[in-house]
């Protein structure tokens, strides 16, 4: 049974919630986490981590398929979806067990059940402890979002959300993916490399709509090489789910697919949180309004992650917001996040990673824009590794050498972007990145060369 009072109660145990709870415990707060499903939340159990586990399988299989390019022949390689599922489940178990260990280490209690906030800033537990109200000095709401169906369809059977898409235990012969943001592009990229015939549909003029236009075009070209049919400016005129597949009508034609994965649109998981009853202000879309320290309109109650309308919907963003909320509650003076400069990464093939302003955004903001870009194959390491597809693009301001944005498409983009984030946070600009000695031969040399291009003295290009 839970105790009657805690210094901090976190509702939700995803990357925002569990990090907030651990930081609260570090600061001496008696802490509990309320979780209605599984420790680790959707990210670790159903979304981010399962996605990366399956994407890794696709990467290994693609390497085997292209082994002959390196003088290695592997006969009769095939995808065993039961084995893929076992790998995914083992990865999830390892990481969620790790979170459970951290809870025990930090003396954080896990309360199973549905949590809601009361008008006096306490928490009411349903489910296992139905109707139990627990006093809390601080409450952190970290429940994330849920998928929304489209086109009059309902999730189930052959119509999947991202979570159920990654949990497939059979390889679709044909697969349609609606929405070419990060999640949809990852699904399309993974299943195409595993052997499905994939059609990726995006209503906007480019895939990865939040990315720089050059980057999106480069990514689309490379992803298409893996067999993904990309349809942008897609107008889906009709959809019908059947027992053996889903029919979609677009471009004047009707096509049938074994499965449909909907990756366009999510809604705040706020049902039953008691927001209206507690008088907590929300936006029109149901997300919780907060200030720069994640405080809601109800004293002592904070909200973080995808549940709030500020910043990108990223796990690492949620984690930092959890730390800010808890440190504010503890009387510390945390720095608010600069949301424009949080790195994002899409784990398709090749990976796409970025931070800061796109070229167009920088121009629209009135900067004296300078751009440095090179193909990733301009340096040695990508040639050695056989991963020459992609580019690095830096966006800067000429007057002060300021680094306004970094944009990368390549097989190691998610790791490479951090150098540029760090450089900016440490008040360095593209001239400094250009003159930092980089190890040879490495992919990171492409970042250096793009900085040199922006600074006017590109060597390899």
Residue 308 to residues 37, 139, 304, 352, Cα–Cα distance (Å): 21, 15, 6, 25
| DSSP assignment string, 344-370 | EEE-SSSEEEEEE--HHHHHHTT--EE
Residue with tokens 């489209």: 150
Contact 415, 408 (CB under 8 A): no
| DSSP assignment string, 166-208 | HT-SS--SEEEEE--SHHHHHHHHHHHHHT-EEEEE-SSSSSS
- Rg of the chain (C-alpha set): 23
Helix ranges (H only) for 8-144 are 15-26, 41-45, 48-65, 81-105
Residue with tokens 């139990």: 132
Phi, psi angle pair for 100, to nearest 5°: -60, -40
Q: Is 440 labeled as catalytic in the residue annotation?
A: yes
Return left, alpha or beta for 126; rule: phi > 0 is left, psi -120 to 50 is alpha, else beta.
beta
**Token reading at 128:** 């296992």
**Token reading at 77:** 């390689």
Residue 444 to residues 213, 219, 387, 392, Cα–Cα distance (Å): 22, 19, 13, 10
Q: Which of 87, 114, 407, 440 is catalytic?
A: 440
Q: Coil, strand or helix: which one is 312?
A: coil
Q: What angle do CA 153, 159, 163 make, to 5 degrees?
A: 120
Of 178, 144, 137, nearest to 161 by C-alpha is: 178
Residues with catalytic roles: 440
């Amino acid at each position: 049974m839970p105790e009657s009072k805690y210094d901090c109660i976190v509702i939700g145990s995803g990357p925002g919630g569990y990090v907030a709870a651990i930081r609260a415990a570090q600061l001496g707060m008696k802490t509990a986490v309320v979780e209605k499903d599984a420790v680790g939340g959707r990210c670790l159990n159903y979304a981010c981590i399962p996605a990366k586990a399956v994407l890794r399988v696709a990467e290994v299989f693609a390497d085997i398929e292209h082994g002959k390019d390196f003088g290695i022949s592997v006969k009769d390689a095939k995808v065993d979806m039961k084995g893929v599922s076992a790998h995914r489940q083992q990865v999830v178990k390892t990481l969620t067990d790790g979170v459970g260990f951290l809870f025990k280490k930090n003396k954080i209690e896990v309360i199973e059940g549905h949590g809601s906030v009361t008008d006096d800033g306490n928490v009411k537990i349903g489910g296992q402890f139905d109707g139990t109200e627990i006093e809390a000095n601080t409450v952190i709401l970290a429940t994330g979002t849920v998928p929304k169906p489209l086109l009059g369809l309902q999730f189930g059977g052959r119509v999947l959300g991202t979570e159920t898409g990654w949990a497939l235990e059979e390889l679709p012969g044909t697969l349609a993916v609606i929405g070419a943001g990060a999640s949809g592009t990852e699904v399309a990229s993974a299943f195409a490399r595993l052997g499905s015939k994939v059609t990726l549909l995006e209503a906007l003029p480019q895939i990865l709509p939040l990315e720089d236009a050059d980057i999106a075009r480069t990514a689309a070209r490379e992803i298409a090489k893996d067999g993904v049919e990309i349809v942008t400016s897609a107008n889906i005129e009709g959809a019908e789910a059947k027992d053996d597949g889903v029919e979609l009508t677009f471009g004047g034609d009707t096509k049938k697919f074994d499965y449909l994965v909907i990756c366009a649109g999510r809604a705040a998981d706020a049902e039953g949180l008691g927001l209206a009853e507690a008088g907590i202000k929300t936006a029109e879309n149901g997300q919780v309004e907060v200030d720069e320290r994640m405080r809601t309109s109800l004293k002592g109650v904070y909200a973080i992650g995808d549940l709030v309308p500020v910043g990108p919907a990223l796990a690492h963003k949620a984690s930092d917001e959890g730390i800010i909320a808890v440190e504010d509650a503890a009387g510390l003076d945390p720095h608010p996040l600069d949301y424009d400069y949080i790195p994002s990464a899409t784990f398709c093939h090749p990976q796409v990673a970025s931070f800061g302003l796109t070229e167009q955004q920088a121009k629209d903001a009135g900067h004296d824009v300078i751009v440095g870009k090179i193909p990733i194959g301009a340096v040695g390491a990508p040639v050695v590794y056989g991963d020459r597809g992609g580019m690095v693009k830096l966006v800067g301001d000429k007057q002060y050498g300021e680094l306004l944005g970094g944009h990368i498409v390549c097989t190691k983009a998610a790791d490479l972007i951090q150098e540029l984030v760090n450089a900016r946070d440490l008040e360095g600009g593209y001239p400094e990145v250009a003159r930092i000695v980089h190890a040879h031969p490495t992919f990171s040399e492409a970042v250096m060369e793009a900085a040199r291009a922006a600074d006017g003295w590109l060597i390899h290009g």
